Amino acid sequence: MNALDSAVQKKIDQWLNGNYDEDTKTAIQQKLDDEKYDELTDAFYKDLEFGTGGLRGIMGIGSNRVNKYTFGMATQGLSNFLKKQYPDEELKVVIAHDCRNNSDTLSKVVADVFTANGIKVFYFDALRPTPELSYAIRELGCQSGVMLTASHNPKEYNGYKAYGADGGQLVAPFDKMVMQEVQNIASVDDVKFDGNDDLIEVIGQEMDEKYLDELVALSVSKDAIARQKDMKIVFSPIHGTSRELVPEVLKRYGFENVILVEEQMTPDGDFPTVEYPNPEEKEALTMALEKAEQTDADLVMATDPDADRVGIAVRDLSGKMVLLNGNQTGSLIINYMLNTWDNAGKLTGNEYIVKTVVTSYLIDRIAEAKDVECFNTLTGFKYIGELMTELEGEKTFIAGGEESYGYLIGEHVRDKDAVVSCAIIAEMAAFYKDQGSSLYEALLDMYVEHGLFRENLKSVYKKGKSGAEEIQKMMMNFRATPPKKLGGSQVVTVKDYQTSKEKNIANGEVSDIDLPKSNVLQFITEDGSIVSVRPSGTEPKIKFYCSVNTNLMSAEDYGPAAATMDKKIDAMIEALSK
């Protein structure tokens, strides 16, 4: 008996009888013959949704899968948008991809759809990092670009990220306009698949050189590197796109002792040496950490497959390798850049940095000490890029970042950039070592100067339709009845980014939040603790970001103080996530 829902069966029949290739139809029929009804239901029960960041999903046949047809429909929608948005311009786009399985063939499908619509395509000759795509869009004067990547998702996934003319991911109102155009593609028959190779221009090394030149120009401590050029750095691209550019930029910065994790240098979409190619996870850095112990290295760095995020490890006071989280690394970068700019007399009062609202407020404290403006944006680096574009030519961007291990130094792109981040992180390590210190000691010194900030993120999963409803109900309850106390401290301010309102609990005053609307709540307590609550936009979970801080009198006090604060964070998150 056929156990398929009628709507699923109808969608399957459309594919079996529609304008799809024979291999696809044969694969669908085989699953029907084998009664793989659960697989077919998951593959066809809905269309893979083109969201504000593009597409991401499991590769395979079906309307809810990544394949030539779902990517083709997305590209046709984006092409239609571009033709309406830029009616009197020669349309140009850039396409790049990472190491994901099928990315090379899928990227050619995307190129063909663009060229079939009369749009010129600059096509990278091999895999390239996401930040270089952003750079190329700006450098070549294109109206858009597409990056094929699933970032740090498991090997079964691939994705499609759409970019605008400024080199940043699409933001309002353009993101919604593209989404609408994609939704307007009624069937695969609306997609122009027959490309025109005459409209494809292959790019490669010449763009690498321009991009690398931009990164090398951002170095601010060349003398320290020259004296510490033999500092041992272990690096891994985790089978991804940074395998050539990061070692090359480190070489051009002056580092001569970069130790590569050879087992992870080969691009491989199966990621055979890790569970997940995610530099936020210790497991993904296991081989790099082992190499560091074998070689007595000072620094470990590993990037995700599309090289827009980086995880690092440094030696603590006892010589043990310890991982730093995204907030710690981002704070170190901001602190280093502002100090070096200040020492060089480059701070004129017109500079700024940017972070997201869920990223450590230690960064705000550091910027305030240097009288540098610090902007807070919604979660997502595209908002940082959007602000940079708004302020381009008016103010000077120094650096920015978000807690999820993504940072940018310099104005050359409009997305997070792990290639330049690796260069500056290595330079920081050399700078502090040259002073007889270390990155870890610099972290403690930063805490003593500006305050000890501890952050943690807890994600609570709620599966299925009932889970989504439960998450929605949790947000409604938080809005209707905000917590009065967190961690023993009175809640004094509630920020609701969905209503764009900030309420002072003590006097009831309400003020406006000048940011786009987003389903995020923040509770700020009397002692400066902050809890941000946000449902995930891509997964069935609700996220609790918690930040606490205290004064740190000396580096020796760090361990006990951090332990006390971590317990406080755990209690706060536990109270909210029940």
Output the domain CATH number for residue 127.
Answer: 3.40.120.10
pLDDT value for 117: 98
CA dist., res. 494 & res. 481, Å (int): 11
* Residues 296 and 375 occupy one common structural domain: yes
Q: For the sheet containing 55-58, what is the strand order? A: 55-58, 157-163, 144-148, 92-97, 120-124, 200-203
* Residues 373 and 243 occupy one common structural domain: yes
pLDDT above 90 covers a percentage of the chain that reads: 89
Please report the beta strands in 378-499, taking only residues with DSSP state E, as ranges in sequence order: 396-402, 406-409, 452-461, 485-486, 489-496
Does residue 105 lie in a domain region?
yes
Query: Mean pLDDT throughout 196-204?
Result: 98
Among the listed ranges 119-123, 243-247, 572-576, which one has the minimum average pLDDT value? 572-576
Q: Is 225 left (phi over 0), alpha (psi -120 to 50) or beta?
A: alpha
* Residues 327 and 466 occupy one common structural domain: no
Average predicted confidence (pLDDT) for the chain: 95
How wide is the angle at C-alpha 98 spanned by C-alphas 97 and 100, nearest 5°? 110
| E strand or H helix at 525 | strand 521-525
- Count CB neighbours of 481 within 10 A: 8
Structural domain count, the chain:
3
The two most distant CA atoms of the chain are separated, in Å, by: 77
* Residues 144 and 288 occupy one common structural domain: no
Task: Name the residue type at position 194.
Answer: D
Q: Is 356 left (phi over 0), alpha (psi -120 to 50) or beta?
A: beta
CA dist., res. 190 & res. 488, Å (int): 59
pLDDT value for 369: 98
Q: What CATH number does the domain containing 517 carry?
A: 3.30.310
The pLDDT-based confidence of 247 (bands split at 50, 70, 90) is very high
Is pLDDT above 80 for 101? yes
Does residue 524 lie in a domain region?
yes
Query: Mean pLDDT throughout 187-213?
Result: 98
Measured in degrees and rounded to the nearest 5, phi and psi for residue 108 equal -70, -35
Query: Mean pLDDT throughout 350-374?
Result: 97
pLDDT value for 1: 40
Does residue 91 lie in a domain region?
yes
Does residue 13 lie in a domain region?
no
Does residue 440 lie in a domain region?
yes
CA dist., res. 151 & res. 154, Å (int): 9
Give tens-digit pLDDT for 512-554: 999 988 999 999 999 999 999 999 866 678 999 999 999 999 9
CA dist., res. 541 & res. 470, Å (int): 10
CA dist., res. 383 & res. 394, Å (int): 18
Does residue 34 lie in a domain region?
no
Structure tokens at 103: 């990315």
pLDDT value for 536: 80
* Residues 369 and 259 occupy one common structural domain: yes
Nearest Cα neighbor of 231 from 316, 282, 292, 302 is 292
Distances (CA, A) of 322 to 314, 343, 446: 6, 29, 17
Which are the catalytic amino acids? 151
* Residues 226 and 301 occupy one common structural domain: yes
Question: Which of the listed residues 400, 426, 450 is the one where a domain comes to its end?
Answer: 450
Is pLDDT above 90 for 121? yes
Nearest Cα neighbor of 258 from 443, 423, 460, 53 is 423
Question: Which of the listed residues 181, 203, 225 is the one where a domain comes to its end?
Answer: 203
Does residue 488 lie in a domain region?
yes
The pLDDT-based confidence of 576 (bands split at 50, 70, 90) is confident
* Residues 181 and 308 occupy one common structural domain: no
User: Cβ neighbours of residue 342 under 8 Å, at least 6 residues apart?
Assistant: 370
* Residues 247 and 175 occupy one common structural domain: no
Place of tokens 């700078």: 431
* Residues 195 and 221 occupy one common structural domain: no
| Three-state helix/strand/coil letters over 450-473 | HCEEEEEEEEEECCHHHHHHHHHH
Give tens-digit pLDDT for 256-311: 999 999 999 999 999 999 999 999 999 999 999 999 999 999 999 999 999 999 99
Structure tokens at 520: 């995020």
CA dist., res. 252 & res. 216, Å (int): 7
Distances (CA, A) of 366 to 218, 310, 411, 453: 20, 22, 20, 12
pLDDT value for 467: 80
* Residues 372 and 477 occupy one common structural domain: no
User: Cβ neighbours of residue 452 under 8 Å, at least 6 residues apart?
Assistant: 549, 550, 551, 552, 558, 561, 562, 565
Does residue 233 lie in a domain region?
yes
Domain assignment of residue 54, given as a range: 46-203
Structure pTM?
A: 0.95
Q: Is 145 left (phi over 0), alpha (psi -120 to 50) or beta?
A: beta
pLDDT value for 540: 76
Question: Which of the listed residues 450, 468, 484 is the one where a domain comes to its end?
Answer: 450
Give tens-digit pLDDT for 427-466: 999 999 999 999 999 999 999 999 999 999 888 888 776 7
Measured in degrees and rounded to the nearest 5, phi and psi for residue 228 equal -115, 30
Nearest Cα neighbor of 160 from 152, 172, 151, 171 is 151
Give tens-digit pLDDT for 162-172: 999 999 999 98
CA dist., res. 367 & res. 387, Å (int): 17
Distances (CA, A) of 393 to 175, 396, 411, 444: 24, 7, 11, 36
* Residues 380 and 516 occupy one common structural domain: no
CA dist., res. 437 & res. 236, Å (int): 25
The pLDDT-based confidence of 2 (bands split at 50, 70, 90) is low
* Residues 182 and 255 occupy one common structural domain: no
